[in-house]
Amino acid sequence: MRKHDLLQPLFLSFYSKSLYQDVGKRWSSTTFLYLFLLLALVWIPAMFKLQQEFSRWIQQEAPALVSQIPTITITNGEVSTDVETPYFIREPEKDTVLAIIDLTGEYTSLDDSDARMLLTKDTFFMKKDERETRTYDLSGIEEFVVDENRVAGWLELLATWLPILLYPFAVLFSFLYRIVQALLYAAIGLLFAKVLEAPLGYAALLRLAIVAITPVILLSTAGELAGVTIPNRWLLAFVVAMAYLFFAVKANTEPESEF
């Protein structure tokens, strides 16, 4: 039976030989549940920070952009607007063209423009990247109106719901990433086990690798929330994870400890 519950590795993983001995000898598939719980917890403050930063952008920076949006009406697939075209929407700080509205036919593509979007009389173009531009035929739209106030409302709604919508995907994809990472680290752990003559198979090393990356996950999350920039962060994270994995393997070569 396990000596430690699912929450204890959140702090004991930083120093406890007893925890790593327990994980190596007694934990099973529960370790994957622990990893999922860990990631579910660390993504909560990250989502709060995302919401705060997006809300700040809406309040402080978005108005200069949104105020440039004219009233655009699409009726039976044909675009009309309350401004003369070509009309340019610019990024406020850079003063570069972000979008073009042109109902005259002067602009028919984004090939010779740095703009990211183009709206013509019946088509919407958007650059996915420098090599790909997506084209959307508007002929199927019977009635649609967008203006400055409507876009501002959408942004406010997005600020409320974006973290909630992103949260399950963030947890799921980070969980899959960490599983792959732990599988690779467990393979390195086989070398540590051989050098230290530790009686550990791959399954036990996988469990240890999952718990050994806990300090890295918690420290990385804390640093990101605090806005701390660390040079070569991924290399440092790897070194720290390997140090804890080595510590975990070594702990399993020693008599069971209470600490």
pLDDT of res. 41: 96
What is the amino acid identity at position 236? L
The DSSP H or E segment spanning 134 is strand 133-137
Give the list of residues 6+ apart from residue 30 with CB closer than 8 angstroms, or none. Answer: 2, 6
Q: What is the pLDDT of residues 2-61, one digit of tens each?
A: 678 888 999 999 999 999 999 999 898 889 999 999 999 999 999 999 999 999 988 888
Mean pLDDT over the full length of the chain: 91
Residue 255: what pLDDT?
85
CB 151 within 8 A of CB 66: yes
Domain coordinates in residue numbering, the chain: 9-55+166-251, 70-146
With 90 as the cut, is the pLDDT of residue 227 above it? no
As a whole number of angstroms, the distance between CA 147 and CA 70 comes to 6
Q: What pLDDT, on the 0 to 100 scale, is given for residue 182? A: 97
Angle value at C-alpha 215, between 211 and 220, nearest 5 degrees: 130
Q: Categorize the per-residue pLDDT at 247 as very low, low, confident or very high, splitting at 50, 70 and 90.
A: very high
DSSP string, 90-108: EETTTTEEEEEE-SSSS--
- Which pLDDT belongs to residue 258? 67
Given this model, what pLDDT does residue 257 score?
67
In this prediction, residue 197 carries a pLDDT of: 92
Q: pLDDT of 156-214, one tens digit each?
A: 899 889 899 999 999 999 999 999 999 999 999 999 999 999 999 999 999 999 999 99
Rounded mean pLDDT of 232-254?
A: 93
* 248 vs 259: CA distance, rounded Å: 13
Instruction: List the alpha helices (DSSP H) in the chain.
Output: 9-12, 17-25, 30-60, 62-66, 148-196, 202-212, 214-226, 233-251
What pLDDT, on a 0 to 100 scale, did the predictor assign at position 28? 87
Tokens of 184: 């690779």
Dist CA 68 CA 96 (whole Å): 13
Cα–Cα distances (Å) from 143 to 38, 138, 140, 148, 185, in that order, read 47, 10, 9, 17, 56
Lookup: tokens for 134: 């997506």
pLDDT tens per residue across span 91-105: 887 778 999 999 998
Give 57-85 pLDDT, tens digit per residue. 888 889 999 999 999 999 999 999 999 99
pLDDT in tens, 104-147: 989 988 887 889 999 999 999 998 877 788 999 998 899 999 99
Residue where the block lists tokens 């850079």: 94
Q: Assess contact for 209 and 186: CB atoms under 8 A.
A: yes
Taking Cα atoms as reference points, which of 159, 160, 152, 127 lies closest to residue 64? 152
